[in-house]
Structure 1
Amino acid sequence: MAEKILLYCSGVNPSVLEQIDSPPEKQKYAAQGASVLVTSLIATCSGSYALYAVFGTGLVAVPLGLFWGGSILLLDRLMLMTMRKRRNKPLAQMAIAAPRLVLALFVGLTVSKPLELRVFQAEIQQADHISIISTLKEERATLEQAKKNAEADAKEALKTANQLDASVIPAKRASARDYRKAAAQKTREAAQLDKRITEKNNALSTREKINPKEIKLTLLRQVVILEHLAAVEPAVRYTGWVLSTLFVLFEILPIVSKLMAKYSVYDAALENLETTGIRLQEKLREVSVEQIDRESLMVRQYREAIAGMVRDEMIRASQQQVISIVRDIERVPGMAVRQAEMTEAVVDRIAAEIKNAVDTPTNSHQDKAASTWDFSALRRKLENLFWH
């Protein structure tokens, strides 16, 4: 059972493989199927983790991850099925495999990225935790500096107002009120900044108590942090390259192994099967053309036979009509002598017309309706000719 599953994953033709009955060939293609199956399992885990980071629930992530892994398996199997090992054609083989290698490269990178995020999950969570704490401290420091500036401005304005109150000049004493208003405004600003500083301290205290492993990050946030870590830490960058290369190699391994393999008995049997199938189809097409020609000849002969029967029947009917008309004029004096001559002339003329009308559409292979003969009109013409 396991061997059948692996052979299915490899995209091999089981009937051809059974005919050649070669254990080494079965082992080779079973190994290729194992690599495809492993890649699909990795893709399932990778897709499930990536979707869990997006939806936050395994009820959605697991089924979609299985669908993703199954899609990768079918795609890899399709690429292997469409590759044919040709005898003494390495360049053509490389040209056929090049698009599949590029596709396998992209699939490998797509599969490796979510697993790379999973490998560095602890570092990503820690970096995010430290980044948020640093941001809160920077914001708190900015607010504290703004508070100090506001308090200093309020103190300076209040000092100036006191100095102006001591002046003997009325205009200066009047301007002291403006300085006192400015000092009050700065004092209110300092009080508001103090509240915001208290909020930042509370948020910072709460954040510092959180365990970084309990932090839930979106997929995009994880990618951004990982790219930042890779730019700062060479070890993270090199490890990411190694993981990506490993999964890419897993993905392209079946195709590369098929390119590197020698022309085998299975390849020869499959090529022979394809050649035989093509010849069989060509032979069937030739037989179909011959059958159509025979049927066309039979139809043409049938039409000619029908046309002859119709022609003979119409001639016979016309002869009877003419004879009956001519017999009616025996009572006319002097016409009995010409009866036989008239009958023969009229019958020959009608027979010629009928034969021409019937044979013309048959010989030209066109479906034309035969002319309709009005014997009653012919009878009236002959009666008028002989009686008047």
Structure 2
Amino acid sequence: MKKVTRFFWFCSGAHIDTLKKYPIEHNKYVGIGATIFFTALFAALSGGYAMYFVFSGSAFAVGFAILFGLLWGTAIFNMDRYIVSSINKEGTTSQQILQASPRILLAIMIGIVISRPLELKIFDKEIRQKLRTSYSKAQNRKIDTLKLTYEQKYSMEMTKNQDLKKEKDSLERDINRSRYQLNQEVFGDKTNQTSGITGYGTYAKQKEAVLVEKQNRLKTVTDDIGKMDEYLATRKQAEGLNDLKLFTPKQLDSLTAIAGFADRNWALGQLGYNDKGERELDTYLAISFIGYLFILFECLPVFVKLMSPKGPYDVAMAKTMEANIYYADKDKERDMSVTDHTYDHTLDEDIARRKRIITAQSDYDFERHRFD
């Protein structure tokens, strides 16, 4: 337990040698350190899970996830540790809140970042269902758009093809009716359209000629329809319309399995809304609650430090800081004094050297003048 306690003291950023002297403060900093440690642990899990989705399908996905999770957790741990340890308890409550406000904002941002990947995992089934629906609707819209473009581009050819098919249907009905009337004429059935004379006479030959003409026209129309259908089928293939089909359930499962982080994050945001675009309060609150929980968890060490009264450890650390500042100033003054003394000593030596040079020059000039 001593090792665990010292570890959590380290996590809280406290000066362990000073904290040991004040047992009343031990539990408070154990709680702060534990909160910082578990926040970093959740951050590592969240970052690793997010990185696993980034490299999903790769043979190194697990390795990258573990490496990034450790790096991300360590970064959050160091940041939280600095945030908590840098709050000064010597000021007033307003000064402490003002001092901690940037740190609280940073803690909120960190809470949002580390909570999102875990929310994606918690609502994984609902996200998959939302993605299936989204992919299916997107495929339908794509097919409809291509169909509309195809119909607009080849509207003249399609209209002509429809007219040919209508003419074909009309010719087939006329041929059947003409063939029946020809039989009536040959067998002598008296009607408004036949003469009633039995045998293959003039009227029968006329009706047969009309029948042959319609049959020839039907053959021409049928050939034109075949050519037009072949042309339109070729155009469909060229436009890519034949390659588009609705996704099967198995294909939808495969697409949702390889969905990226952006798609899953979008689907998570859409869970709070129904098909009509109206907000579903229960689902929205469930998703928001998890995010708020992590934000509160991330801000908790700062709140604990702000809410806790100034204790003997804080007073001792303030006095230690003042002493360190005092001794640092003294050291600076001493260093400056040594520098000034060295400068003065150097200056005196330079003046003496110049005097010796001037004296030597004067003696030289005097001797030279006397020699001359």
The alignment's TM-score, normalised by the length of structure 2, stands at: 0.70
Change (3 A) 1:187 1:158: farther
* Structure 2 partner of 1:37: 37
With over 3 angstroms needed to count, the CA separation of the structure-2 counterparts of 1:53 and 1:311, relative to structure 1, is: closer
Counterpart contact for 1:160–1:179, Cα < 8 Å: no
Residue 62 of structure 1 corresponds to: 66
1:105 to 103, 108, 121: 108
Count the aligned residue pairs: 315
Distance across 1 between alignment mates of 2:352 and 2:142:
106
Specify the alignment match of 1:245 in structure 2: 292
Q: How does 1:1-388 map to 2 (within 5 A)?
A: 1-18=3-20, 21-56=21-56, 57-87=61-91, 89-133=92-136, 154=161, 156-160=163-167, 181=224, 184-186=227-229, 189=232, 200=245, 203-204=247-248, 206-207=250-251, 215-232=257-274, 233-307=280-354, 321=367, 375=368, 378=369, 382=372
Task: Tell me if the contact between 2:143 and 2:244 (Cα under 8 Å) persists in the aligned partners.
Answer: no
CA–CA distance in structure 2, aligned partners of residues 152 and 204 of structure 1:
33
Superposed CA offset, 1:279-333 (max 9, x none): 11222222233333333443344445545555666666666x3xxxxxxxxxxxx
| RMSD (CA atoms) | 4.2
How far apart are residue 190 of structure 1 and its match? 7.1
TM-score, scaled to structure 1: 0.67
Specify the code of the residue in structure 2 equivalent to 1:72: I
Q: Bigger shift: 156-165 or 248-257? A: 156-165
Paired residue secondary structure (1:262):
coil
Amino acid at match of 2:132: H
Could you say if the C-alpha distance between residues 163 and 220 of structure 1 is closer, same or farther in structure 2, counting changes exceeding 3 Å?
A: same
Q: For residue 338 of structure 1, what is the aligned residue in structure 2?
A: none
- CA spacing shift, 1:161–1:284, aligned 2, 3 Å: same
- Residue segments in structure 2 that go unaligned for 5+ positions in a row: 175-209, 275-279
- Partner SS for 2:309: coil
Per-residue deviation, residues 154-175 of structure 1 (Å, max 9, x unmatched): 56523325768989xx9xx99x
Distance 1:126 1:162 in 2: 48
Counterpart Cα distance in 2 of 1:15 and 1:23:
12
Distance, in Å, in 2 between the alignment partners of 1:279 and 1:286 is: 11
Change (3 A) 1:315 1:104: same
Q: Report the CA distance between 1:222 and its aligned residue.
A: 0.6
Per-residue Cα deviation, 1:145-202 (whole angstroms, up to 9, x for no partner)? 999x9999856523325768989xx9xx99x96896357424764799899789737x
Measure the CA separation in 1 of the matches of 2:229 and 2:162: 9
SS at match of 1:263: coil
- 2: distance between equivalents of 1:28 and 1:311? 76
**1:369: which partner in 2?**
none
Quickly say closer, same or farther: Cα 1:153–1:187, change in 2 above 3 A: farther
| Native 8 Å contact 2:35 2:301 kept in 1 | yes
Structure 1 counterpart of 2:245, which letter?
Answer: K
Contact 2:168 2:222 in 1 (8 A): yes
Cα distance 1:61–1:289, how it changes in 2: closer, same or farther (>3 A)? closer
CA offsets 1:20-52 (integer angstroms, 9 cap, x no match) = x11221211111010011111111111111111
Q: Which structure has more RCO (C-alpha within 8 Å, separation ≥ 6)? A: 2
Structure 1 pair 5–142 and aligned structure 2 pair: CA distance change class (3 A): same
* Larger Rg belongs to: 1
Which whole-Å CA distance do the structure 2 matches of 1:53 and 1:137 have between them?
A: 27
Aligned equivalents of 1:119, 1:130: Cα separation in 2: 19
